[in-house]
Amino acid sequence: MSLIDEAARVRERAYAPYSGFKVGAAIRAEGGRVHLGVNVENAAYPEGTCAEAGAIAAMIAAGDSRIAEVAVIADAPRPVPPCGGCRQKLAEFGGPDVPVTLATLRGAREETTIGALLPGAFGPSDMEAS
């Protein structure tokens, strides 16, 4: 199954009763394992979490730490750009050349990279003492 198909399948389990906007994310870690996430909203709206954040949490909990590939899908008029916070979260665990596929259920696809989504990202190497 393709990474987008994995994201589409898990998207059905998203918990988005407030926005009605379900998102699925799939991350292939270095080593090949796939980790899945969905958006999980909350009655206290700002407490909701994005699908990408869920997939990252699943990756870390499973013992992987480096992202090799990302896929995100929603039922939208155009492929949904990850929010700013998720761009930063992805950049923590994946290099700038890591491919990101943004997709819609209607078949649109946009291929980008973590580096294109967040040029000049602040990352762990920026905190190394000189």
Stretch that binds ligand THU, among 27-35, 60-68, 82-90, 109-117 (CB under 6 A): 82-90
Residue 29 CB coordination number (10 Å)? 22
Determine, following the binding rule CB under 6 A, whether residue 8 of this chain makes contact with ligand THU. no
Closest separation in Å from C-beta 128 to ligand THU: 30
Q: Under a CB-based contact definition with an 8 Å cutoff, are residues 26 and 40 in contact?
A: no
Query: Annotated catalytic, 52?
Result: yes
Cα-flanking dihedrals φ and ψ of residue 69, to 5°? -165, 145
Q: The tokens 């580096």 sit on which residue? A: 115
Residues in region 33-52 near ligand THU by CB under 6 A: 39, 41, 48, 50-52
Q: How far is CA 85 from CA 31, 32, 36, 54, 103, in A?
A: 26, 25, 18, 13, 19
Nearest to 112 by CA among 80, 88, 76: 80
Closest separation in Å from C-beta 38 to ligand THU: 7
Which one of 36, 82, 103, 114 is in contact with ligand THU (CB under 6 A)? 82
The site for ligand THU (CB under 6 A) is made up of 16, 19, 21, 23, 39, 41, 48, 50-52, 72, 80, 82-83, 86
**Residue positions annotated with a catalytic role:** 52
